[in-house]
Amino acid sequence: MPNPRRASVALACLVVAGTSLGLTACAASPSRGRAATLPPTASNGAAAVTTPHAVTSTASPVTPIAPSPSPSPPPTPAPTETPTPEPTASPSPSPSPTPPPPSPPPARLIIPRIGVDARVVPLGEDANGAMASPDNPRDVGWWDKGTHPGDWGSAVIDGHVDFANYGAAVFWNLHLLQPGDAVQVVSVEGQTLTFSVTASETFDAKDNSSIDRIFRNAEHQGLNLITCTGTFSPRTHDYDKRIVVFTTLAPS
């Protein structure tokens, strides 16, 4: 006859093994705190298990625990396109006003006070780099590298004070002019411009400190008249001084 204690141990092992396999497990229920007694073994050697009460399983089916989802990384924001500024058109510089064309070249010089009415010839530089002089005692010369009479700047006209084998020349009496005296220039187109004497000054022939004042004064519409004065040198055939009569265009 099997040992009742060994049968209880074997049943307990079956329950533990069944649970670990996930099957429905059965257990002997104790009666009033006493261990259950195994019934007599059948003649064929099989053990018939009689339970005083029906016992149902109290275990709930095992539900697999799903792994927690990994947190999704936050979405990467799309780069914001930096707006490209519209090109600003640079203002076009205002074109400089076109200067007016130069006045017509002079044709005649008239100075009523000293009786001058002379032809004007255009002149440049002589061999020494100075303003050339007319080749005769009657004409006056206009510095054609500079300003036209009537334009803004300093127009310059020269003439001889005397001349070899001739005597007193066209500007012999230039030193007599006074401020306010009229000087007229007739252009090649017949237009007459009147200038008014403002000053008369004498300079050393070798003094170039007043060149800009005589030839390059752009602050008015001027006309300057030049001739020789002072002491004549037979050796150099020249005078040691120059007289300049300054004039400005009179209001029309």
Q: What is the pLDDT of residues 36-78, one digit of tens each?
A: 343 444 444 444 433 334 434 444 455 555 555 566 666 666 6
Q: pLDDT grade, residue 28 (50/70/90)?
A: very low
* Range of the structural domain that residue 125 is part of: 106-249
Q: What is the pLDDT of residues 174-204, one digit of tens each?
A: 999 999 999 999 999 999 999 999 999 999 9
| Average pLDDT score over residue span 3-25 | 37
Q: Are residues 15 and 130 in the same domain?
A: no
Q: What is the pLDDT of residue 151?
A: 97
Longest dimension (CA), the chain: 186
pTM score, two decimals?
0.62
CATH code of residue 160: 2.40.260.10
Q: Left (φ > 0), alpha (ψ -120 to 50) or beta: where does 165 sit?
A: left
Domain annotation covers residue 167: yes
How many other CB atoms are there within 10 angstroms of residue 75's CB atom?
A: 6
Torsional sign, CA 56, 60, 61, 62: negative
Domain annotation covers residue 182: yes
Q: What is the pLDDT of residue 86?
A: 67
Q: Tell me the backbone φ, ψ of residue 242, rounded to 5 degrees.
A: -135, 140
How many other CB atoms are there within 10 angstroms of residue 192's CB atom?
A: 10
Q: What is the pLDDT of residue 88?
A: 65
Domain annotation covers residue 150: yes
Q: Are residues 120 and 220 in the same domain?
A: yes
Q: Which residues pair with 203 in a beta bridge?
A: 242
Distance CA 129, CA 115 (A): 31
Q: Are residues 45 and 150 in the same domain?
A: no
More confident residue, 127 or 81: 127
Tell me how far CA of residue 186 lies from CA of 106, 109, 152, 212, 248, in angstroms.
6, 7, 17, 26, 15
Q: Are residues 119 and 230 in the same domain?
A: yes
Domain annotation covers residue 139: yes
Q: What is the pLDDT of residue 82?
A: 63
Distance CA 72, CA 14 (A): 46
Domain annotation covers residue 135: yes
Q: What is the pLDDT of residue 77?
A: 62
Contact yes or no for 146/153 (Cβ under 8 A): yes
Q: Are residues 112 and 203 in the same domain?
A: yes
How many other CB atoms are there within 10 angstroms of residue 194's CB atom?
A: 14
Domain annotation covers residue 180: yes
Q: Which residues of 228-246 are buried (b: 16+ CB within 10 A; e: fewer)?
A: bbbeeeeeeeebeebbbbb
Q: Are residues 55 and 149 in the same domain?
A: no
130, 129, 157: which is closest to 224 by C-alpha?
157
> What whole-number percentage of the chain has pLDDT above 70?
62
Q: What is the pLDDT of residue 99?
A: 73
Distance CA 156, CA 6 (A): 151
Domain annotation covers residue 37: yes
Mean pLDDT, the chain, as a whole number?
77
Element (DSSP H or E) covering residue 19:
helix 4-20
Q: Are residues 34 and 125 in the same domain?
A: no
Domain annotation covers residue 83: no
Q: What is the pLDDT of residues 129-161, one digit of tens each?
A: 889 999 999 999 999 999 999 999 999 999 999
Distance CA 159, CA 137 (A): 8
Q: Are residues 235 and 141 in the same domain?
A: yes
Number of domains in the chain: 2
Instruction: Among 66-70, 77-81, 110-114, 126-130, name the one with the lowest average pLDDT.
Output: 66-70
Q: pLDDT grade, residue 33 (50/70/90)?
A: very low
Q: Are residues 157 and 235 in the same domain?
A: yes
Q: Are residues 35 and 110 in the same domain?
A: no
Q: Are residues 238 and 115 in the same domain?
A: yes
Q: Are residues 131 and 244 in the same domain?
A: yes
Please check the confidence at residue 243 and state whether its pLDDT lies above 90: yes
